[in-house]
Amino acid sequence: MSISIATDRCIGAALCALTAPEVFTQDDDGVSRLLPDGPQRARSSPVREAARACPVQAITVSED
Ligand code: SF4
C-alpha cells in the first residue's frame, strides 16, 4: 500500500490524524505528514477512511 499527501492542498483539518493516528501526524504548521513507520502500519488501520474523511481530498491511497 502506498500513501501520498498533497501537502499543498492540505488545510490542516486534522481528520486524517484523528482517524488514523498510527499513520498520520501534523507538522508545526498543521500540515499532514506520514509518520516514519506509518505506511507499514497502514494495512491494519483505517487509512482509507481517513482519505475519505479529508475535506480537500489531499490523501491518495493505492495498492502496490
Ligand atoms: S484531513 Fe486532509 S486537510 Fe486535514 S490534515 Fe489531513 S490531509 Fe490535511
pLDDT in tens, 19-41: 999 999 999 999 999 999 999 88
56 within ligand 1 shell (Cβ under 6 A): yes
- From 8, 43, 7, select the one nearest 25 (Cα to Cα): 7
d(Cα 7, Cα 41) in Å, to the nearest integer? 21
Nearest residue by C-alpha to atom 2 in ligand 1: 54
Give the pTM: 0.92
pLDDT for position 58: 98
pLDDT for position 45: 81
The single-letter DSSP state of residue 6 is -
- Angle 17-52-15 (CA atoms, 0-180°, nearest 5)? 25
C-alpha to C-alpha distances, 43 to 15, 31, 51, 61, nearest whole angstrom: 18, 23, 14, 11
Q: Which of 7, 8, 9, 10 to mutate to test the pocket of ligand 1 (most atoms within 8 A of CB)?
A: 10
What separation in Å is there between the alpha carbon of 64 and the centre of ligand 1? Answer: 22
Cell digits of residue 1: 500500500
Atom number in ligand 1 closest to CA 57:
2
